Structure 1
Amino acid sequence: MKLLRHGPAGAERPALLDADGKIRDLSGIVADIAGDTLSDEGLARLRAIDPASLPEVTPARIGACVARPGKFICVGLNYADHAKETGKAPPEEPILFMKATSAVVGPNDDIEIPRGSTKADWEVELGVVIGTRAKYVSEDKALEHVAGYCVVNDVSERAFQSERGGQWTKGKSHDTFGPIGPWLVTRDEVADPQNLALWLDVDGVRRQTGSTATMIFGVAHLVSYISQFMTLEPGDIIATGTPPGVGMGIRPEPVFLKPGQVITLGIDGLGSQHQATIEARD
């Protein structure tokens, strides 16, 4: 099942994508794609509905596929070849940092280049959406707490991230730096989250090509690991790291984003995103 949210920013309505690619409105069934809707029981109730019985809609905008995530947790350097291109050794334990939830936007919304930015960068990532509360869960039970998966662009400003002192969060959290979606694809439709191809283009030039098969720490390990340090709640998002090909790793000279560019990215079976870069708004 593919779940989504449609409508103006701040007033999105829940929906699902049917087998024919039609968007069916769910606002008469559930309040939003959040909370108990993401539990196994909530998803089972939606799965039992005949999509043809729901109103078809043609939205002008697709919003973030999860409403009001409580936490946006990111994993750094989780692909050995990406760690290498950044000049860092692969980590012995997952590197965790937070992205502000105010960065979350729809998959095709504009991306702002922050004022003073010199090193804005892209990162296609597999997103994991938590469906049921997870605290101290074992790795063999971890995926039972996952509602599904989505595409994430972990947009970053490298100078803010690494040259301004402190933690990485300030380089990860500008408004619009967290496009998610278009769909939340429920875990029953993803046979193996460690066998998904990822890609990203900038202005039609392929920059990233990778596979979740090369992640250092897999999804089950990450969910279990993170749950040892904080309770994961329904709607929380984990961005699991990016394959090589980010702008800071391009040689002989790094390449960074500026206003007026177009980014397209996707993951097999999870859909694709399309963003234009613009100057930061007030």
Structure 2
Amino acid sequence: MRVCVYDDDRVGALASDSTIVDLTDLVPGHTPADERMNALIANWDAVKPTAAERVAAGGGVPEADAVLRAPQPRPRNLFAAPVNYHKHQQEMGGDAGVYVGRQILTAEVRKGFLKAATSIVGPDGAIELPWEDRRFDHEAEIGVIIGKKASRVSTDDALDYVFGYTPLLDITLRGEEDRSFRKSFDTFTPIGPYIVTADEVDDPEKLDFWLTVNGEERQKSNTSYLIYGIAKLIEVYSEVMTLQPGDIIATGTPEGVGQIVPGDTVVLTIPEVGELTMPVVARA
């Protein structure tokens, strides 16, 4: 199933007739608008049969007429894996890397960092670059949405705790500031347009994906090249803290990261999950 947030922050799903059917009544009425997806995910086992019936029946808002927003606007935690592909490690450091002469440590050492949840933006928005005199890069990633509380889970069991997957861009300011600062600007975590539930993804550890800027391919890889795979990331993070329904893990980016500037259009394609298109603008 492909679930989303649309129009006036309603939660819905893409139906078989290419309409968006409303699922908002399946979450408690007192739920704040930006918490509705968290509530839907937390209660998914109970509401899934009703949601499936509505998806089969269709008759909702035509997809072309709906305003699709970030499908998970307010996770409690937004985790990110640093340098989780070996070829990305190579392009960041060494004699010709972005950080010339540096030894770049991978996720095996750095493990992870937190981004501000307020950096999330959906396909209804844009990537807003705040400064003209600094370099900002695109990073293509898979977003993993946690489905239930996970504490000290093993790699073997980890994928049982996944609700779904979404295209995710990790926009990055290059420089000497801490990672969390450089990656937490408003609009620096575009996601969407849908979360595809885990039961519709055959093998998340073998997902093809690619990124283009203005039609030019810059990144192309497969999650099988991850240093820490999706299950391993869940094991590592859940050993430290209890993951909550709706939490997002950004799995890391492969080689090919490059600068973006106002006027660019960035497109991330994950065939089994979806396509995210984001314009780049200067912050007003």
Matching of residue 139 in structure 1 with residue 143 in structure 2: no
Give 1:240's aligned amino acid: T
Change in 2 beyond 3 A, CA 1:127/1:43: farther
Q: Identify unmatched segments of 5+ residues in structure 1.
A: 248-255
Which of 252, 259, 263 is the aligned partner of 2:262?
259
Q: Could you say what secondary structure the match of 2:203 adopts?
A: coil
- Answer yes or no: is the 8 Å Cα contact 1:140–1:220 preserved in 2: yes
Give 1:156's aligned amino acid: T
Instruction: Please state how far the C-alpha of 1:258 moved relative to its aligned partner.
Output: 1.6
- Could you say which residue in structure 1 is the equivalent of 2:25? 28
- Answer yes or no: is the 8 Å Cα contact 1:106–1:181 preserved in 2: yes
Give 1:37's aligned amino acid: I
Cα distance in 1 for partners of 2:92, 2:199 equals 35
Instruction: Please state how far the C-alpha of 1:271 moved relative to its aligned partner.
Output: 0.8
Cα distance in 1 for partners of 2:5, 2:184 equals 22
Instruction: Please state how far the C-alpha of 1:19 moved relative to its aligned partner.
Output: 2.9
- Answer yes or no: is the 8 Å Cα contact 1:65–1:183 preserved in 2: yes
Give 1:92's aligned amino acid: E
Deviations 1:192-218 (A, max 9, x none): 001111111111111111111101111
Give 1:16's aligned amino acid: A
Which of 121, 125, 131 is the aligned partner of 2:137?
121
- Answer yes or no: is the 8 Å Cα contact 2:108–2:228 preserved in 1: no
Instruction: Please state how far the C-alpha of 1:191 moved relative to its aligned partner.
Output: 1.2
- Could you say which residue in structure 2 is the equivalent of 1:149? 165
- Could you say which residue in structure 1 is the equivalent of 2:55? 51
Cα distance in 1 for partners of 2:222, 2:16 equals 26
Instruction: Please state how far the C-alpha of 1:94 moved relative to its aligned partner.
Output: 5.4
- Could you say which residue in structure 1 is the equivalent of 2:31? none
Instruction: Please state how far the C-alpha of 1:52 moved relative to its aligned partner.
Output: 4.9
| TM-score (norm. length: structure 2) | 0.87
Deviations 1:214-234 (A, max 9, x none): 011111111011001111001
Change in 2 beyond 3 A, CA 1:174/1:91: closer
Cα distance in 1 for partners of 2:191, 2:143 equals 8
Cα distance in 2 for partners of 1:143, 1:214 equals 18
Give 1:74's aligned amino acid: A
- Could you say which residue in structure 2 is the equivalent of 1:71? 77
| TM-score (norm. length: structure 1) | 0.87
Cα distance in 2 for partners of 1:194, 1:236 equals 19
Give 2:27's aligned amino acid: V
When the two chains are superposed, the root-mean-square deviation of aligned CA atoms in Å is 1.9
- Answer yes or no: is the 8 Å Cα contact 1:208–1:245 preserved in 2: yes
